[in-house]
Structure 1
Amino acid sequence: MTTVTSPITSPIDLFSDHTLQNTEAVFAELRETAPVVHLPANDAWAITRYEDVREALGDPATFSSKQVAFNPQMNQILSGTSLAADPPQHGDLRAVLTDNLSPRAMRKMKGEIYAKADALVRELAGRGSFEGMTDMAVAFPVQIVLDLIGVQGELRAKILPWGEAAFNLLGPLNERAQASFPIAGELFKWTHEEMKGEDLAEGSIGRNIWEAAERGEISHESFGYIVHQILAAGMDTTITTIGNLLVQLGNHPEQYAQLRENPSLAAAALAEVLRTKTPAPVFGRVTTREVEVAGQTIPAGAQIALLYGSGNMDPRKFENPEIFDITRNPVDHLGFGYGIHACAGQGLAKLEINGLLEALIRHVESFRIGEVTQRLNNFTRPLATIEVLDIVTAEVPATA
């Protein structure tokens, strides 16, 4: 006789205003409640602890990406993208992305990106204070990514609000998502119906993907999907992480001083920011079969919520996880995901952020964070404003 264990449930709504404003505290509550928690408010099963989240990410045959969003309309829209595809289709779609965002391609871009980062930080530091989101976290990746895609003219001003709206649609169809539908619809219409290869700058990633479609390596329909993915994901999560980097270093001046003394810690510092402030803390999956996770049976066809942000703060994995420590070097954090769906654009994100970070170390001896405000989004955790104050410029560049 089989014993069926009743699932542990919680009234928590992963997409309520309270959860979005208090994600770390809510995730801690869920994580310490159980490794798997059923959430009737979201009709989902939340996997809360590091090892279980990572194991699920490494098993796409059981945890399918066909329900990466938390509403059927968006999952249908995403069908045909690498984000929402399983093997073998996933490999073909992913290859086009990785070919254009490969380490070799990134190396070619490094000099130009770092030079732009240096010029921006030097100018902002000279002001004595600046608005961290508008002046740095938004301005820099938007310029870089739109140039890479080859977006030209008046469309450039529309891309950022389009991307943010698209991320709202990855949650349930709540008020935020409903308000975002018309704005995101403009992005879908442009990428899937109106965009032409000749509209994108020659030599750009967008033009290269168009040419791959022309050669028959991918479908023309996939061309729109892939460009849409790069535009949406290549900016918003990077913008969020740059904002978090400023706040974490500004609020931990002893850590920033240590980083200036030892700039080789830059990569470790970024990893620690991604661990402590995961930019996209929840991703969806759907089970293809009945599966047991940490002793809890989850039925086939169940909506899964993989809590990346909770796993990154799991004390079973990371000692004293609430402490921001740039010497920790958590290379196995879940900030970029794991497995076949690990963020394809992470090389570009790291290049942009490390460029800014190295420039900050060079030109800024110290700074202070003033008021910080948050903007609520169903999927990411963006900041709206960051006051960067009392900047002391570096008289002598930090030693590399």
Structure 2
Amino acid sequence: MATAATPQSDIDPYSEEAILSPYEPYRALRDIGPAVWLEQYQVWAVARYRDVYDALHDHETFSSGSGVALNDAINERMRGTTLASDPPYHDHVRGLINGPLTPKALRAHREDFERLADELVERLVRQGSFDGVADFAHVFPTSVVPDLLGWPAEGREHFLDWASAAFNTIGPMNERSLADVPLMKGMWEYIAEMARPGRLREGSWGADLVAAADAGRIDPKLLPSLIGDYLLPSLDTTISALSSALWLLGTNPDQWDAIRRDPSLVNNAFNETVRLESPIRAFSRLVTRDHDLSGRFLPAGSRVLMLYASANRDERYWDNPEVFDVTRADARNHVGFGHGIHGCVGQGLARLQGNALLTALAKRVRRIEVGRPVWRVNNHIRAMSTLPTTLHV
């Protein structure tokens, strides 16, 4: 894949150091060129915004059908999911789960989410100090979303471990991936069990899928993957965005004051959070045909690593990209939820949770005090494990 003239780097995006402090390595990769060969992983790293954006909108050249992980075993296991598929099959399976996630469908849940957010914030205000990850960011993704899916009380204790393992194994088959492969096997077996008729609550999103399979409208073999498409992306990514929002607003009190003065900024603040601290660091694609990417030749058969988190801080596109600015006019242009046909199908649900919780905070809380976060070491998720927090009213 690479020649002596090929821009190469020994930067390892999957080292513990780069995971915990990723932004200087990203900048270095951006400075080298539009695509940089990582010999260790036999993959092109694409780190600049425009190149990532353009590639995400060219699904014929940059294919997801061969998987989006950096190892063959997980790519093979992901076949049949919306994430690891190309049109026309992708359009079919995405259509099967999209109904409850349309803006119109989600509006029906807005009042319930707002009420639950008000109750959570009131409880945390009375509590005083708490963990912004476990006591704030975990609550909606691990309760409200599984309720919508119709998941019973049993098995929910596995959700966070499953989500973490899923994103670890999307990376190269390093020690973190290998350690979580058995957990992934157990997860898929459990989800397959839950896909049986009668296991998910009647009238729920999950039960509707099972009923459609029973009626012959969906291939029953797809059920575990489709249920997984609802469940897994709605956990770690949203938890990451919510905890990062709390941290950024606590460390930028002027931005929190701006939201309190103008609560209409909440949605933009959520976008700016996802831009600056992108929950998903990267996904890969397979190049289906020889392609010129901003002057860099990518041969057919190459695998490219789309560094979303780097693109979202690219100084070639963003003004003052390191600055958290809730009034940033183009914050919505981030690629933190992907883009193009593979833009995250559940991003509307994540926004609904984020907007409800940040609005509830803005109504009640004068100042958000945060301590030093502890960041998790995960191949593909940028997330905290703890965040000391106190709310001042």
Q: Structure 1 length normalisation: TM-score?
A: 0.95
Q: How do 1:127-146 residues align onto structure 2 when only pairs under 5 Å count?
A: 127-146=127-146
- Matched with 1:231 is 231
- Matched with 1:398 is none
Work out the CA distance in 2 between the residues paired with 1:161 and 1:175: 16
Deviation digits for residues 318-375 of structure 1 (CA, Å, limit 9, x no counterpart): 1111111100041111011110000000010000111100001011110211121011
Instruction: Note if contact 1:187-1:228 (Cα within 8 Å) is conserved in structure 2.
Output: no
Instruction: Note if contact 1:250-1:256 (Cα within 8 Å) is conserved in structure 2.
Output: yes
Q: How many angstroms does 1:218 deviate by?
A: 2.2
- Matched with 2:57 is 58
- Matched with 1:331 is 332
Q: How do 1:26-45 residues align onto structure 2 when only pairs under 5 Å count?
A: 26-45=25-44
Instruction: Note if contact 1:368-1:388 (Cα within 8 Å) is conserved in structure 2.
Output: yes
Q: How many angstroms does 1:215 deviate by?
A: 2.7
- Matched with 2:283 is 283
For the aligned residues, what is the CA RMSD? Answer: 1.3
Q: Which amino acid aligns with 1:42?
A: Y
Q: How many angstroms does 1:195 deviate by?
A: 3.1
Instruction: Note if contact 2:285-2:305 (Cα within 8 Å) is conserved in structure 1.
Output: yes
Q: Which amino acid aligns with 2:45?
A: A
Q: How many angstroms does 1:290 deviate by?
A: 1.1
Deviation digits for residues 27-71 of structure 1 (CA, Å, limit 9, x no counterpart): 111111111101111110011111111110001110000230110
Work out the CA distance in 1 between the residues paired with 2:226 and 2:24: 35
- Matched with 2:177 is 177
Work out the CA distance in 2 between the residues paired with 1:322 and 1:343: 24
- Matched with 1:359 is 360
Note the residue ranges of structure 1 that are not aligned, 5 or more in a row.
394-400
Give yes or no for the alignment of 1:346 onto 2:341.
no
Q: How many angstroms does 1:5 deviate by?
A: 8.4
- Matched with 2:116 is 116
Instruction: Note if contact 1:64-1:287 (Cα within 8 Å) is conserved in structure 2.
Output: yes
- Matched with 1:7 is 6
Q: How many angstroms does 1:193 deviate by?
A: 5.0
Instruction: Note if contact 2:67-2:79 (Cα within 8 Å) is conserved in structure 1.
Output: no
Q: Secondary structure at the match of 1:233?
A: helix
Work out the CA distance in 2 between the residues paired with 1:375 and 1:234: 18
Work out the CA distance in 2 between the residues paired with 1:46 and 1:295: 15
Work out the CA distance in 2 between the residues paired with 1:195 and 1:385: 33
Q: Secondary structure at the match of 2:202?
A: coil
Instruction: Note if contact 2:67-2:85 (Cα within 8 Å) is conserved in structure 1.
Output: no
Q: Secondary structure at the match of 1:199?
A: coil
Q: How many angstroms does 1:184 deviate by?
A: 1.6
Q: Secondary structure at the match of 2:161?
A: helix
Work out the CA distance in 1 between the residues paired with 2:140 and 2:125: 15
Q: How many angstroms does 1:197 deviate by?
A: 3.2
Deviation digits for residues 215-240 of structure 1 (CA, Å, limit 9, x no counterpart): 32321111110111221101110000
Work out the CA distance in 2 between the residues paired with 1:206 and 1:194: 9
Q: Secondary structure at the match of 1:83?
A: coil
Q: Secondary structure at the match of 1:46?
A: strand
Work out the CA distance in 2 between the residues paired with 1:126 and 1:78: 44
Q: Secondary structure at the match of 1:117?
A: helix
Q: How many angstroms does 1:83 deviate by?
A: 0.5
Deviation digits for residues 154-182 of structure 1 (CA, Å, limit 9, x no counterpart): 21111221121111110011111111112
Structure 1 runs (4+) deviating above 4 angstroms are none
Q: How many angstroms does 1:140 deviate by?
A: 2.1
Instruction: Note if contact 1:5-1:296 (Cα within 8 Å) is conserved in structure 2.
Output: no
Instruction: Note if contact 1:366-1:392 (Cα within 8 Å) is conserved in structure 2.
Output: yes
Work out the CA distance in 1 between the residues paired with 2:30 and 2:308: 11
Q: Structure 2 length normalisation: TM-score?
A: 0.97
Work out the CA distance in 2 between the residues paired with 1:79 and 1:367: 43
Specify whether residues 153 and 193 from structure 1 end up closer, same or farther in structure 2 by C-alpha distance, changes over 3 A only. closer
Q: How do 1:1-400 residues align onto structure 2 when only pairs under 5 Å count?
A: 6-65=5-64, 66-193=66-193, 195-329=195-329, 330-389=331-390, 391-393=391-393
Work out the CA distance in 2 between the residues paired with 1:344 and 1:128: 35
Instruction: Note if contact 1:71-1:173 (Cα within 8 Å) is conserved in structure 2.
Output: yes
Note the residue ranges of structure 2 that are not aligned, 5 or more in a row.
none
Identity of aligned residues (%): 38
Q: How many angstroms does 1:194 deviate by?
A: 5.4
Instruction: Note if contact 2:62-2:286 (Cα within 8 Å) is conserved in structure 1.
Output: yes
Q: Which amino acid aligns with 2:165?
A: A
Work out the CA distance in 2 between the residues paired with 1:197 and 1:104: 28
Q: Secondary structure at the match of 1:41?
A: coil
Specify whether residues 239 and 152 from structure 1 end up closer, same or farther in structure 2 by C-alpha distance, changes over 3 A only. same
Q: How many angstroms does 1:252 deviate by?
A: 0.1
Work out the CA distance in 1 between the residues paired with 2:38 and 2:169: 19
Q: Secondary structure at the match of 1:320?
A: coil
Work out the CA distance in 1 between the residues paired with 2:141 and 2:177: 24
Work out the CA distance in 1 between the residues paired with 2:20 and 2:278: 14
Q: Which amino acid aligns with 2:192?
A: H
Instruction: Note if contact 1:281-1:380 (Cα within 8 Å) is conserved in structure 2.
Output: yes
The aligned length equals 389
Q: Which amino acid aligns with 2:371?
A: G
Work out the CA distance in 1 between the residues paired with 2:306 and 2:39: 15
Q: Secondary structure at the match of 1:42?
A: coil
Specify whether residues 52 and 361 from structure 1 end up closer, same or farther in structure 2 by C-alpha distance, changes over 3 A only. same
